Amino acid sequence: MSTSNLDAVFGPRSIAIAGVSTKPSAEQFGGGAYLQAMIRCGFKGPLYPVNPKGGEVMGLKVYPSVRDIPGPVDYVISAIPASGALELTKDCVAKGVKAMHFFTSGFSELGKGEGIALEREILALAREHGMRIVGPNCMGVYCPKSGVSFLADTTSESGPVGAICQSGGNAIYLVREAARRGVRFSKVISYGNASDVNATDLMDYMADDPETGIIMAYIEGVKDGPRFMKSLERAARRKPVIVLKVGVTESGARAAASHTGSLAGADRVWDGVLEQVNAVRVATIEEWIDMAVTFSFFPKPVGRRVALLGLGGGATVLASDEATKEGLVIPGFPQDLRRRATEVVGAEAGTIIDNPMDLSAEAWRVGYYPILKLFAEYKGIDLSIVHLSVGLIARPPAMHAEIWNKLLDDVVRAHVELGKPIVVVTQMMTFPEHYDWMDQAREKCYRAGIAVYNSIRHAARSGNRLLRYYEKREARNRTSP
């Protein structure tokens, strides 16, 4: 089926939400939560709450049924029990609705005859009339540009990342956590059981979407492997694709079957296919978000030689080990560079003037900019990683913030002025104010276009994956006819 009609899913002109309560907004769940999300995300078209009792909610008239709505309706969200889903579908068909999203569960994912039969009957009716179905058993769509959202508490800023996520809970976590790290989305969709709209449709749509430059995919299983692989290869030739394939163990496959009714597939087959098409495979949701950060902010690396700058001798040793294990190279500095760094610092007590470089207490006085300038001038490194181990020294909160803000401002200045790639790691927090500062630091970095990670290992792994991605892409381009 063509993906062109998915425009009604991501950019509807009007939305009806079935299952909205007339209780006060603070007590809203299900349909009411979707209504709140649309209002707060700035949906500009008509919103039609639906409840057989009628009434009013959040300043909007509540209609007894979809058929009673006076204007045209593009998209309907069903937050009613599965037992009423077929009747609602009939109402939507009669109304000329273009797409429906079933939030509620109780369908094929249960593995029971009635739920499977109900899902099939709804799908047959929808296909007969050219209406698309998202779900059942999913969160649906977040599209900031359209003002469509399944969360009331996320940003309305758009960005280049499109996400295909079979799981609703993981879609929620993705949108919230990635947003805290500066990732902005073009479109996110949780598609659940994939009775109709599925991973292949969505991969094709994201590949063609001019607003999407990076594609993320969380997949429990696909129902038509060869068709999906063809779509994946096509998408990966056009854009970076980051895949979190789950259900790779026996217990995980069992969980996928009971969650969305998906067949997980052999892990080694997925490994081979993703490697072949140059999609970036990750193992955890944290790595998934790391790679979204990486493709959004990490400058294209030219090599694996890294300078590490941080605080704490032990921390620098750990950082060096972690970066090396993840495929980066930590070269020793030549004598001339070490001499120049010593002159900048003006002291040697407690410092490590090599790579990694630990300025210890002298960092507060010297700052990071002069050292990062030396790194930028040295041709023997390709990238600097600045390790902000903010919890190693106990300070009163005001002094703590003043010191670390100065160092962070140095990093931002170096990023803007010096031209050599820099990424930041915030790690080793020990007090509540450290975590508060970390959130502020993250925002300052991503607003300046700097990638931020939670550990050296994550930064190094992400950087190495990015480099491998570009190496393979360039090799494929050289051999392509």
**Strand stretches in 58-154, DSSP E:** 60-62, 75-78, 99-102, 132-134, 140-142
Residue 480's pLDDT band, with cuts at 50, 70 and 90, is low
Mean pLDDT of 236-254: 78
Mean pLDDT of 370-396: 86
Q: How much is the average pLDDT of 265-286? A: 90
Beta carbons of 185 and 161 less than 8 angstroms apart: yes
* Number of residues written out for the chain: 481
Helices (H), 351-396: 362-366, 369-377
CA distance 89 to 94: 9
Distances in whole angstroms, Cα of residue 327 to Cα of each of 234, 240, 250, 400: 29, 21, 30, 34
pLDDT (tens digit per residue) in 132-157: 999 999 999 999 999 999 999 999 99
Average pLDDT over residues 29-56: 94
The confidence score (pLDDT) of residue 23 equals 76
State both tokens at 443: 């925002």
Decide if 109 contacts 137 (C-beta within 8 A): yes
d(CA 175, CA 163): 9
Q: How confident is the model at residue 394 (pLDDT cuts 50, 70, 90)?
A: low
Q: Determine the topology of domain 306-469 in CATH.
A: Rossmann fold (3.40.50)
Cβ pair 291, 461 in contact under 8 A: no
Rg of the chain taking only CA atoms, in angstroms:
26
Give the right CATH number for 4-134 from 2.40.50.140, 3.90.198.10, 3.40.640.10, 3.40.50.720: 3.40.50.720
Burial (CB count <10 Å: 0-12, 13-18, 19+), residue 157: exposed
DSSP state of 395: -
pLDDT of the residue at 361 = 74
The 10 Å CB-count burial string (b at 16+, else e) for 192-202 is bbbbbbbbbbb
pLDDT classification of 438: cutoffs 50, 70, 90:
confident
CATH number of 157-297: 3.40.50.261
pLDDT band at 413 (very low <50, low <70, confident <90, very high): very high
Domain assignments of the chain as residue spans, ordered by start: 4-134, 157-297, 306-469
Q: Is the confidence at residue 260, as pLDDT, over 50?
A: no
Q: pLDDT over 70 for what percent of the chain? A: 90
Residue-wise pLDDT tens digits, 283-340: 999 999 999 999 999 888 789 999 999 866 677 778 888 999 999 999 999 999 999 9
Predicted local distance difference test score (pLDDT) of residue 391:
67
Please give the mean pLDDT across all residues of the chain.
90
- pLDDT exceeds 70 at position 348: no
Task: State pLDDT tens for residues 166-209.
Answer: 999 999 999 999 999 999 999 999 999 999 999 999 999 999 99
pLDDT value at residue 265: 58
